[in-house]
Each structure stands twice: as C-alpha cells, then as structure tokens.
Amino acid sequence: MSKGITKRSEDYSQWYIDIVLKAELADYSPVKGCMVIRPNGYGIWENIQKNLDHMFKETGHVNAYFPMLIPESFLKKEAEHVEGFAPECAVVTHGGGKPLEEPLVIRPTSETIIWATYKNWISSYRDLPLLINQWANVCRWEMRTRLFLRTTEFLWQEGHTAHASFEEAEEETLRMIRVYQRFAEEFMAMPVIVGRKTESEKFAGAVHTYCIEALMQDGKALQAGTSHNLGQNFAKAFDVKFQDKDKELKYVYATSWGVSTRLIGGMIMTHSDDQGLVIPPKLAPLPVVIVPIWRSDEEQQKVSEFARNITKDWDPLFYKIDERDQYKPGYKFNEWELKGVPLRIEIGPRDVQNQQVVLVRRDTSEKITLSIDNLKAQVENTLANIQNNLFKKAKERTEANTFTVNSYDEYKERIDGGGFFRVFLDHTNPEVEQKLKEDTKSTIRCIPFDAPQEEGPCMITGKTCPYRVIAGQAY
C-alpha cells in the first residue's frame, strides 16, 4: 500500500479517486467506465441493501426480479422515455453467433419490461396496489464516468408500483422519497434537501419527480435518490387497465423510485477526510477493529488472550482482531483509518495490566481509555456518538454552505465557490434554466418541500415567484 492520499485542498477530484482505490472500495475494469466493486465497497452496498430493503418491506413492498434484456421496441412505446434513454442504451444485436431478429436493449431502467409484464397481472382494482421492488444492475452508456458516481453499469434498486388513483400514486411517490430521506440521514448520516425536480430535470416519462439532494464537501450537489409519479404514461403506453369498483375500465397510475451505488460516492464525499475513508457506523461492514500491541511472544500471547476474552460474547461480524505480525501497530492504525473503520481498539501490555483498553474514534481521532467493565455497551455507545457526530458535522457544513442570494450578478460571482443557493428563479420557464446552465454551469436542484412562502422577482426574468428554489452545481 502506498502512503498517503492526495489532500482535498490540493485536488478534490484526485482525492476522491485515491480514497476509492486505496481504501479498496473499487477498481477499474478492462471495460471503459465499468468498475469492479471490491469487498470493502460491496460490504457497504450490502448494508445499504439490507437496511433499505427492510424499510421497503416495512412500507408494504415485496421484491421480484425482471430480466436484464429488453426488446428494443419496448423502449419506444413511451415517447419521452425513449427520447431520454435511447442515446445511452447498450444494445445486443447478436446471440448464439447469429444476428437477432430484434435487437435487445440492456436495461437502462426497467419501466418498460415491468409494465409489459404488469399488463398481465392487473385486471381488477383488487389487484391494486401492486408494490414491487427489484435489486438489479442497469447499464447506461454515459460519456463521462466516475467511480461510483456515474459508471456504465451500476447497481441499484428500482421500485415500480401500480395504483388505482393519481392521489394514491402521489402518496406512494412521496412516501418513498421520505424513506430515502430517512435512510440518507439516519444511516448514511448525510443530510439532504427534499424537493421536486423542475420540468426539464424530471425523469423521462414522469409527471413529476421528487428527489433528495445532498451537498458534498467541495460544494457540489449530488442527486442521491429520486421518486417519480409516472401518472398514466406507462399504463397507456403498455395498455395496462383495470376494472374499478364503478365497473369502468381505467388506466392504472404508476410510480417508480430508485437509489444506486452512487450513494457510496455520496457517503465518501460527505464524510471522508485526508486520512482516508470515513464510514458511518451503521453502514460499516466492520464497525470495530482491535489492534493488539506486543513485543515478546509472551506479551503477544497475553494480549491476544485478553482481546479474545473481552470479545468472547461479541458478534463475530462486529469486530476483527488484527493479529498480523508482519506489520507494526502504527502501520495498522494508518491502514484501518484509510479503510474507514469507525472505531479502533488498541490493546497493549499496559492495558492488560490495568484491565483497560484504548478506543480511538475515526471521526475525531479522540483516544479514550476505558475499563473493560461494561465494554460492549461503551463501544456501542461510542459508535452511536460517531454516527450522530458525522450527521451533525455534515448538517452544519451543509447549512454553512447554503446561501440566500437575490441578484443574478451576485449569484454568478459566488456559484463557483459551491453550495446550495436559495434563489428566486422562474422554474416554469425552460429558458430560465437554459440560461442559468449556460451562464453558470449550475441547475435548479429542486423546489424544496419546506420552502417558505416568500414572493420575489426571478433573478433572470424579474417575474414574480412564490417561493425560492435551490440552485447549485451538481455531479
């Protein structure tokens, strides 16, 4: 392992890449834009899956799996959808050595194949709501890729639900964006702004899109999750109707919602530092590492025995004792810090003598000497503190970098410094967004749910707006 990583202040982008590669979260693959997710990274994804999956099931959803290959013609059935996704689709043209009669698209998202299937599953209001999620990989041929943030193939979950009314679909769409908010804040310790996307930023084929937006350490926004109310667009495109209580045949209402391995990128850029990765305890594949310290064989034996003794009733997945003897303790300290393990326990001969251990927090580097009495509870308590502290720090940073700006001149001056900007912009006018993008490389990130009623003139057109939107530069 090479020493050190690029400092954030020197080159933020390189810092990010260094973290991903050196903490062994992922590796480049032989195919451009694709990445190998290594065990350290996949372990985080597994924890994301585990916790989100639980939340989905709590809210009444079940998992299923739909195929990766979709007939090309399916994509074309919803006009906006095909326009949005066709340019970035990978297409399979051959199978078994022969050209295929109809090319198959590798799913960029699964609305089309799912709605083609739902057509067969839905005939009565009694079949609704249909609440299904799938964990899957998807493929989008992006121009420019970045590890975790935008890769050609990525892992995600996509929920696809069918409802009898627009109102019910709307309720579902909102419910799920709140699930994402809760997950981001409680598990990832990543504060987010919840809101609605503007017309030009919404999902291809949606009536409207809700999103969570997080602010990264470099001041750029990251869209961390989206939830779409698809109205009847897909039902109409795939002819999915149900007979309602009133005997009438109606098109069903749809939602879809997803988060991806991008969340891992968001986690990295929210918490990590110049020492390396910082993983919130609730997502850490390994919450605690124990580093024994010894000189002689005799000491090694004593220290190891002590370590095993104090952990004898601990969950083996909760901790690891690093007994490698080819590395000195200092090396191990640095390595585990680089890899983001939230809490380290150091145990040396002195500690055995005093029946104590030394806890070292990844988030603050604080060293705490503790008696071994009631150690497990103390460790768990400290992990909970780390989790809270990470959220608090991220929240403070986000708030400190959320600015209220009134003039376009001031906005243009400050936008490159990063941050969320609370501004008046007429989001109903596409030209406003167009100009904003051209002038400042920034976009309206969302129309926040909690925007207070406040009238003011659009920074660009002067038209009166009823509330402020959040604008900023994004990943």
Contact pick of 39, 60, 330, 417 for RNA (by CB under 7 A): 330
- Cβ nearer to RNA, comparing 277 with 293: 293
Cα separation, 204 vs 111, in Å, equals: 11
Does 150 participate in binding RNA (rule CB under 7 A)?
yes
Contact pick of 54, 57, 182, 295 for RNA (by CB under 7 A): 295
Closest CA to 264 of 279, 275, 282: 279
CA 285 to chain centre: 16
- Helix 262-271 / helix 375-400 crossing angle, nearest 10 deg: 90
Site stretch for RNA (CB under 7 A), options 36-44, 110-118, 142-150, 457-465: 142-150
- Cβ nearer to RNA, comparing 246 with 373: 373
Cα separation, 330 vs 470, in Å, equals: 45
Does 337 participate in binding RNA (rule CB under 7 A)?
yes
At which residue do the structure tokens 């460790």 appear? 379
The helix/strand/coil state of 100 is: strand
Subset of 156-175 contacting RNA (CB under 7 A): 156
Site stretch for RNA (CB under 7 A), options 82-90, 166-174, 395-403, 412-420: 82-90
Q: Any idea what DSSP says for residue 464? A: E
Beta strands in 308-347 (DSSP E): 319-321, 343-347
Does 146 participate in binding RNA (rule CB under 7 A)?
yes
- Cβ nearer to RNA, comparing 365 with 404: 365
The helix/strand/coil state of 422 is: strand
ω into 316 cis (within 30 of 0):
no
What residues does 215 pair with on adjacent strands?
Answer: 221
Subset of 388-447 contacting RNA (CB under 7 A): 437, 441
Site stretch for RNA (CB under 7 A), options 135-143, 173-181, 235-243, 398-406: 135-143
- Cβ nearer to RNA, comparing 212 with 237: 212
The helix/strand/coil state of 90 is: strand
CA 170 to chain centre: 23
Contact pick of 122, 277, 360, 386 for RNA (by CB under 7 A): 360
Burial 189-219 (b: 16+ CB within 10 A, else e): bbbbbbbbbbeebbbbbbbbbbbbbbbbbeb
Contact pick of 28, 125, 318, 403 for RNA (by CB under 7 A): 28
Subset of 212-251 contacting RNA (CB under 7 A): 223-226
Does 154 participate in binding RNA (rule CB under 7 A)?
yes
Size of the site for RNA (CB under 7 A): 67
At which residue do the structure tokens 């190891």 appear? 304
Residue at 50: amino acid letter? K
Contact pick of 137, 309, 355, 365 for RNA (by CB under 7 A): 365
Subset of 41-70 contacting RNA (CB under 7 A): none
End-to-end Cα distance, the chain: 29
Does 203 participate in binding RNA (rule CB under 7 A)?
yes
At which residue do the structure tokens 């997950």 appear? 183
- Cβ nearer to RNA, comparing 126 with 350: 350
**Which residue pairs from 327-330 have beta carbons closer than 8 angstroms and sit at least 24 positions apart in sequence?**
329/291, 329/293
Nearest approach, Cβ of 122 to RNA (angstroms)?
26
Does 185 participate in binding RNA (rule CB under 7 A)?
no
Does 81 participate in binding RNA (rule CB under 7 A)?
no
Nearest approach, Cβ of 436 to RNA (angstroms)?
11
Contact pick of 66, 318, 333, 467 for RNA (by CB under 7 A): 333
Contact pick of 348, 418, 448, 472 for RNA (by CB under 7 A): 348
Helices (H) and strands (E) in the chain, counts: 14, 25
Does 375 participate in binding RNA (rule CB under 7 A)?
no
Contact pick of 151, 181, 229, 398 for RNA (by CB under 7 A): 151
Q: Are 209 and 228 within 8 A, CB to CB?
A: yes
Subset of 445-464 contacting RNA (CB under 7 A): none
CA 337 to chain centre: 22
Closest CA to 420 of 411, 432, 428: 411
Does 262 participate in binding RNA (rule CB under 7 A)?
yes
- Cβ nearer to RNA, comparing 172 with 201: 201
Does 145 participate in binding RNA (rule CB under 7 A)?
yes
Q: Are 120 and 241 within 8 A, CB to CB?
A: no
Site residues (CB under 7 A) for RNA? 1-4, 13, 17, 28, 30-33, 84, 87-88, 140, 142-147, 149-152, 154, 156, 203, 223-226, 258, 260-262, 275, 293-296, 325-331, 333-335, 337-338, 346-351, 358, 360, 365, 367, 437, 441, 474-475
